[in-house]
Structure 1
Amino acid sequence: MNAFNESWVAASEAGVLRFITAGSVDDGKSTLIGRLLYDSKGVFADQLDSIARSKYKRVQADEIDLALLTDGLEAEREQGITIDVAYRYFATPARKFIVADAPGHEQYTRNMVTGASTAHVAIILIDASRVHEGRLLSQTIRHTALAKMLGIQHIVVAVNKMDLVDWSPALFEQIRAAYADLAEKLDIDQFHIIPLSALKGDNVVAHSDKAPWYKGPTLLSLLESLPVQAEGNNGPARFFVQWVIRHGGDSVDDFRAYAGQLASGVLRVGDQVKILPSGTTAVVSGLRQFDSDVELVQSGDSVAIILDRDIDVSRGDLIVAADAQVRVTKEFEAEICWLDQQPLNPARQYLLKQGTRVTQAKVRAVHSRRDMGELLQLGAGGALSMNDIGRASLVSRDALALDHYADVPATGAFILIDAATYQTAAAGMVV
């Protein structure tokens, strides 16, 4: 096995870490990702040749504009900004990575929420040259608050462009203190902070001799070592039925199973379960993956569940442990991020999709709107516009089985779809 294959296998065995870069405009998010890709040998030669010849190159003639590796839209390259979330994939001998480059402009808050919803780590970039008297920019505050709200496991603060402030340890400590105050306000227990230069590559993959006072890890070595909680394996079992499989219904050995993906927890043969919203109970008599029978499945596994008796189970139903405490209701409150260009209209009918269940729903009332920049709750006036985040009361046509988003994201998250245009209107988190 050659060295490349060996490193790929080792990275595969270590699992995948998903991270997102966030922060204000021109903090260097795209450049940082480009640097990680370039220094970890995650860029092909033809890609380098393409960006070297780009008419939108914004660096000196002998340098590579690494931001162009992620800013793929014509408008992004023309304006020198990130508009949509760009996903890139790379691996080191220690781990595989999926990275999302989020826009910095406030008007693209919805894009940041989309990218952060599946991330394990948020890298919050801060431009050291734009911090004056310890005051953080509003987008730094906004994206940190969003990362906290979405339950991201780890927050890494990358203090970028330290080369523009002569690698001042005093300024770095000032930024660390300001961010520590913000973390305390948001009830963030721990964060990591690294001084670096994405453009020059200092402290990104290799340590820099320009900051001998910094004794911590480089950004890449930190990302390789961060523990990632197994996605849902330690949580309660939650399984949305996607497809009812049945054949041989007129024979004595007819087959019936319920296919889908286990969204959270672990299921074993012999487990007592109940089907929601009906509340009917049964015992798992078999678990089948492809054409093999297994005794156990974990979060993320696709499986067909066989029950010990024939009961009414349909697409969209939720299978949970028999003793699970799950709220079944038609009325609930949620934090919703409005994604549609058309403002929320409480008189309008929306489709609510939770897992594989789709039902009609209405937003009964909007109670407040979050000012993420100032960390305040404001009056909403009964409506939300694009990129607004607020708390609202909703009512659905059919009963839903709901968990608090912070406890079980799989059953605490949903989207609203405009019933007339079929545009995704909002993303919601049950509170």
Structure 2
Amino acid sequence: MNALITSLREQLNHDADQSGQAGLLRFITAGSVDDGKSTLIGRLLFDSKGIFADQLAAVSRSKHKRTVGDTIDLSLLTDGLEAEREQGITIDVAYRYFATPKRKFIIADTPGHEQYTRNMVTGASTADAVIILVDVSKVKLGDDGSVELLVQTKRHSTIAKLLQIEHVIVAVNKMDLVNYDRTVYDRIVAEYTKFADTLGLKDITAIPLSALAGDNVVERGDNMTWYEGPTLIELLEGLSVYDETHAAPFRFPVQLVARHNGHEANDFRGYMGRIESGKVAVGDKLVVQPSGHSATVKEIVTFDGPLQQAVAGQSVTITLNEHVDISRGDVLAPAEQPATLLKQVKADVCWMSDEPLDVRRKYWIKHGTRQTMAKVKAIDSVLDVNTQTRRAVDNPAEGLTLNDIAQIELTVQQPLAADAYDAIRATGAFILIDEVTHQTVAAGMIRIDA
């Protein structure tokens, strides 16, 4: 799925460049159960004319109608699974694509239920922005001025920080349930801002809205004249997206070694993959990691013909002047800016399995195109998402349970050519896989001390 989304993203960015639009923006919605995430996306699609007539007719005929009178249940535009429609909750990540005259978008509608937080992590892993929905009817407002946010709101915000999502939009939803009271909105925003400060979130924008009524989503409406900021769609259209991968050092995880068909005299040997960061040109001096062999770029081959230079996001085949041993899982990097070789890995992980972490077991670690065995050496600390404090784990046998966020140390069987996640996402991220069930049990972000 991620490869398909990446390919689509490249095409949409190309189309946007040709039309003079701003670059493609990929964003997700996150929050707790029934905060209105699916309804908000449905409203965005409906009011921006991003759905077809037959889709609208199908939604109108749906038997799982959760609205009053003839009002269309817009959440059904993203809640496509039968179980989602029956229960009224989002279970899986739903991707939708739409465009305005100013920009193209990829939306990921992610689950709010605590049980499906792992699906939210999946949707957030490649997002440029996140919309954190806060349901005003669920926030506890004390008479003493206190405000208590939901745990899932804090958890999703923490994950957004860990995954280095650039923009955070706090959508205070269902303002119609509190008669569009500005005081309620201001109190919630003040509390979230205080929490965000403890997280270290930087680019935060708050907006009051009603996804059901459509206020401040695409149209402004007359119910919150006290709000003078942009509507949600205006805000999304104006967000800047900086692709740091082009400025980072060259990283090329080898996916496949390509040979000629066996009937040609020339001994063609090419290394196929996707450039995850930086750029490469014919004549560049590279190092093969982890072996350390040196090599020089002979040719950059594509389906459309050879290139003199290629950049992040392109899938190419690279040939070298030297005959060196290179296999799937190896990484090509500049000789002067190689990745860090790690046998001991420090990382932040989000535990995504119902089965607790067992430090006595081995897991597969999937890092780029390399897969090798790994063992959890230690659990350094577990994060409390409410207080943002970390507690030490004296007994590693306690393991981790579903949705725990922790700092751990891993020992890997084969060295990883890695970077800190903060520097290069692609070579700083990994997943852990249960060797018995083959289920993904954790998503990790590598931390390398400066």
User: After TM superposition, is the score higher than 0.5?
Assistant: yes
**Which whole-Å CA distance do the structure 2 matches of 1:70 and 1:11 have between them?**
28
Cα distance in 2 between the residues matched to 1:158 and 1:312: 52
Matched with 1:415 is: 431
CA-to-aligned-CA distance 1:80-102 (integer Å, 9 cap, x gap): 11122221111112222111111
Would you say how many aligned residue pairs link Structure 1 and Structure 2? 424
2:169 maps to 1:153: no
Alignment of 1:22-421 (within 5 A): 22-131=30-139, 132=141, 133-230=146-243, 232-247=245-260, 253-380=266-393, 381-382=395-396, 383-421=399-437
CA distance in 1 between counterparts of 2:115 and 2:46 reads: 30
What's the secondary structure of 1:129's corresponding residue? coil
Code of the residue aligned with 2:278 in structure 1: it is G
Q: Which secondary structure does the structure 2 equivalent of 1:263 belong to?
A: coil
Cα distance in 1 for residues equivalent to 2:96 and 2:52: 13
Task: Please report the TM-score for the alignment, with normalisation by the length of structure 2.
Answer: 0.90
Equivalent pair of 1:11/1:96 in contact (CA under 8 Å): no
Q: Give the counterpart letter for 2:70 in structure 1.
A: D
Query: 2:440 aligned with 1:427, yes or no?
Result: no
Conserved? CA contact 2:166–2:203, under 8 Å: no
Secondary structure of the residue aligned to 2:147 is: coil
Distance 1:84 1:235, change over 3 A: same
* CA shift for structure 1 position 75: 2.0
| CA distance 1:130–1:339, shift in 2 (3 Å) | closer
Report SS of the residue matched to 2:379: strand
1:125, CA displacement in angstroms? Answer: 0.7
1:214-256 CA-to-partner distances (Å, cap 9, x unmatched) read 1111101111111111261121111001111223889874222
Q: Distance in 2 between matches of 1:124 and 1:340?
A: 24
**Contact 2:98 2:104 survives alignment (8 Å):** yes
In structure 2, do the counterparts of structure 1 residues 231 and 92 end up closer, same or farther at CA, with 3 Å as the change threshold? farther
For 1:62 and 1:24, the matched residues in 2 are separated by: 27
Equivalent residue number for residue 3 of structure 1: none
3-state SS of 1:294 partner? coil
**TM superposition score normalised by structure 1:** 0.93
Q: Is the 8 A contact 1:10 1:93 kept in 2?
A: no
Greater Cα offset, 134-143 or 269-278: 134-143
Cα 1:12–1:72 change in 2 (3 A) is farther
Aligned-partner Cα distance in 2 for 1:178–1:156:
15
CA contact (8 A) 1:59 1:65 kept: yes
Give 5+ residue unaligned stretches, structure 1. Answer: 1-7
State whether residues 11 and 94 of structure 1, in contact with CA within 8 Å, keep that contact through their aligned partners in structure 2: no
